Amino acid sequence: MIITAISKVDYEDLCDMMTEFARSAGVSDLNKDTYDRTYAKNVLLRCEKTGASFIARDKDNKAIGMILSMRVQELWIPNIIRLRELAWYVREEHRHTTVGARLFAAYKNTAETMKDQGKITGYTMTKLHNSDNFDYEKRGFKFIESTYMVGA
């Protein structure tokens, strides 16, 4: 397995995994048959240029996982820039292996470097209700909020 920073050559595979991720999130209005791939590729371009975003591929070069993020301004204080994780996904047949942990390590190491360079003030991770139990606090994160949704 190899983990690399995302680039345009990965966008089709990433769009496929983004669709799988959205369908697995448990939010009914994300469970679509088709997505606007042009819009998705614009999001991926922003993730590529401003974030710490990675794709994992197996020995046959098949995409098996991803972690996507982008830099965003704090809503109330725009000079605070955080790296926001958007999606962390490993295909079903590769879960409970090292793929997810290695993607997380690539994200966290790059985020720390960006923080040390002053490009960001901090970075986030999101835990979905159906995610495996992963102890973020043990890895240096502080619990901030829970999100509840009507219409999911």
What does each of the 152 residues of the chain score in pLDDT, given as a tens digit?
999 999 999 999 999 999 888 887 766 666 666 678 899 999 999 999 999 999 999 999 999 999 999 999 999 999 999 999 999 999 999 999 999 999 999 999 999 999 999 999 999 988 765 566 777 778 787 888 767 666 66
Report, at the CATH architecture level, how domain 2-139 is classified.
3-Layer(aba) Sandwich (3.40)
DSSP 90: E
pTM (global) more than 0.95: no
Rounded Cα–Cα distance for residues 44 and 29 (Å):
21
Q: What count of Cα atoms within 13 Å lies in the side-chain half-sphere of residue 25?
A: 21
CA 111 to chain centre: 12
Q: Which residues contact 44 (CB under 8 A, 6 or more apart)?
A: 6, 10, 11, 14, 15, 53, 68
Q: Which residues contact 5 (CB under 8 A, 6 or more apart)?
A: 48, 53, 54
Rounded Cα–Cα distance for residues 59 and 33 (Å):
30
Could you tell me if 56 and 66 are in contact, meaning their C-beta atoms sit under 8 angstroms apart? yes
CB count within 10 Å of CB 65 equals 23
Domain layout of the chain by residue ranges:
2-139
Rounded Cα–Cα distance for residues 68 and 23 (Å):
17
Could you tell me if 139 and 37 are in contact, meaning their C-beta atoms sit under 8 angstroms apart? no
pLDDT of 113-126, one tens digit each? Answer: 999 999 999 999 88
Helices (H), the chain: 11-24, 37-50, 99-116
Which stretch of DSSP H or E encloses residue 52?
none
